[in-house]
Amino acid sequence: MSVINKMLQDLEQRQQPAAVRPNTMAPQPHSNAKAWYLWLALPVVCLVLLAWLWLLPALAQRPLLSAEPGQTLPNQPVLAMATSIKQETATLTAQMVTDNRQLTAIGSAGPAQIVAALNSGPTKAEAATPPGLPATRTQQPLLTVTRPAAVKPQATIEKQHLSAGEQQQNMQLRANASEAAGDTSAAIAIWQQIAAQQPAEPEAYLNLARLWLQQQQMVTARQVLLQARQQGVQSAEINLQLAQLAVRQGQWQQALAFLPDQFELAAEPEYFGFKATVLQQLEQFAAALSWYQRLAQLQPEQARWSLGAALSSEQLGQPLQANQYYQKAWQYRQALSASSHDFIQQRLKATEP
């Protein structure tokens, strides 16, 4: 009996797990509730997708920055749009995570909790406006970049006032530069201006006469010199040039008229030497000898004065005096020509006592 009882007990123990297993495999009472929770979450996901589609046209219509031509502005609207999209995407992702968590919580909650969770969801107006975006959009003002006007430096140039003498000197330098460059016409024009500004100064008249003579304009040169005398210019050089021009035309008496004795011999030896020559040509030997003697005393090294005195002495019938002056001329003959050397040698023999 004990063996039979033991066998029955083993049989009952083996049959107990089989009886318990059907109870453990029984369907869970919450499986149907989870299916309902998924169906309830579907509208929420659809609302999220609709909000995303609603945002795309609005973002595309945002105004761009305006800039002036020739200026480069940073892509602020593009950066702002990209940042806004990034924030909205993060917000929607967070909302979807929250919705999934709510669905998970609903799956483990009872019917009363499900109804409360659905009632606490976003309203229709809130769902229509995605979180993180304003309900109404205001158009952003255009950003205008104005380039600052360039300020030109104003240099203050002070004109230096030149005196009359400095202005004349400047004009003389210009005239000399024009003549050196070969522009004789410009040099003449400048000297004419100087003569008009300083009519009592001989320098402008002398330079004008010299330039006209270079152009073979003897008549014009003579007119310029005569104009200087009419202006009251007292110049030995102007008188000498007038006398030389008269001699070139064979007018010896007129040349003598241009050579008055108003100047000092020591200051103008050439002037009086030419006067002595004119007097000699006019056969006024005594007057010529007087000037040659004075010049030979003033400049004994000048052989031409001694030679002139010797000629005048010989013309006056004074051979001994003429021989003395010929000897002085031979002593300083270096400045004389070869023909003058031969002439002196001949006259030395002719006047030898």
Residue 115's pLDDT band, with cuts at 50, 70 and 90, is very low
Residue whose token pair is 């100087």? 194
Q: Work out the angle at residue 264's Cα, subtended by the Cα atoms of residues 263 and 265, and round it to the nearest 5 degrees.
A: 120
Q: Are residues 251 and 293 in the same domain?
A: no
Are 244 and 269 within one domain?
A: no
Tens digits of residue pLDDT in 130-157: 444 444 444 444 444 455 555 555 545 4
Could you give the CA distance from residue 291 to residue 282 in angstroms, rounded to a whole number? Answer: 14
- Give the residue numbers spanning the domain of 196: 164-259
Nearest in space to 187 (alpha carbons), one of 166, 212, 165, 164: 212
Res 8: pLDDT: 62
What contacts 254, CB < 8 A, 6 or more positions away? Answer: 246
Same domain, 334 and 351: yes
Which of 56-60, 148-152, 180-184, 197-201 is predicted least confidently? 148-152
253 and 299 housed in the same domain: no
User: Are 208 and 185 within one domain?
Assistant: yes
The least confident of 78-87, 254-263, 333-342 is 78-87
Q: Is 84 a member of any domain?
A: yes
What is the Cα–Cα distance from 328 to 311, expressed in whole angstroms? 13
With 60 as the cut, is the pLDDT of residue 15 above it?
no
Is 9 a member of any domain?
no
Q: Do 255 and 268 belong to one domain?
A: no
Q: Are residues 281 and 248 in the same domain?
A: no
Of 271, 285, 274, the closest CA to residue 317 belongs to 285
Same domain, 189 and 225: yes
pLDDT score recorded for residue 136: 46
Q: How far is CA 22 from CA 9, 30, 231, in A?
A: 21, 18, 154
Among the ranges given (31-40, 139-148, 334-343), the one the predictor scored with the smallest mean pLDDT: 139-148
Number of domains comprising the chain: 3
Question: 180 and 108 in one domain?
Answer: no
Domain membership of residue 277 (yes or no) is: yes
Tell me the average pLDDT across 3-17. 62
Domain boundary among 244, 259, 274: 259
Q: Are residues 290 and 247 in the same domain?
A: no
Three-state DSSP class for 182?
coil
Tell whether 44 is covered by a domain.
yes
pTM over 0.75: no
The Cα 146–Cα 67 span in angstroms is 8
Q: Is residue 282 part of a domain?
A: yes
pLDDT at 121 over 60: no
Which segments of 65-110 does DSSP mark as H helices, in order?
A: 76-107
- Domain annotation covers residue 27: no
Q: Quick check: is 153 in a domain?
A: no
Q: Which residue has the higher pLDDT, 71 or 263?
A: 263
* Distance, first Cα to last Cα, the chain: 213
Q: What's the distance, CA 7 to chain centroid? A: 125
Among the candidates 223, 242, 259, a domain finishes at: 259
Residue 53: the pLDDT is 76
Domain end marker among 196, 225, 259: 259
Looking at the fold, whether 353 and 289 belong to one and the same domain comes out as yes
**269 & 345 share domain:** yes
335 against 61, higher pLDDT: 335
Identify the CATH number of the domain in which residue 279 sits.
Answer: 1.25.40.10
pLDDT at residue 40 in the model: 72
CA distance 338 to 87: 118
165 confidence band (pLDDT: 50, 70, 90): confident
Let me know if residue 159 belongs to a domain. no
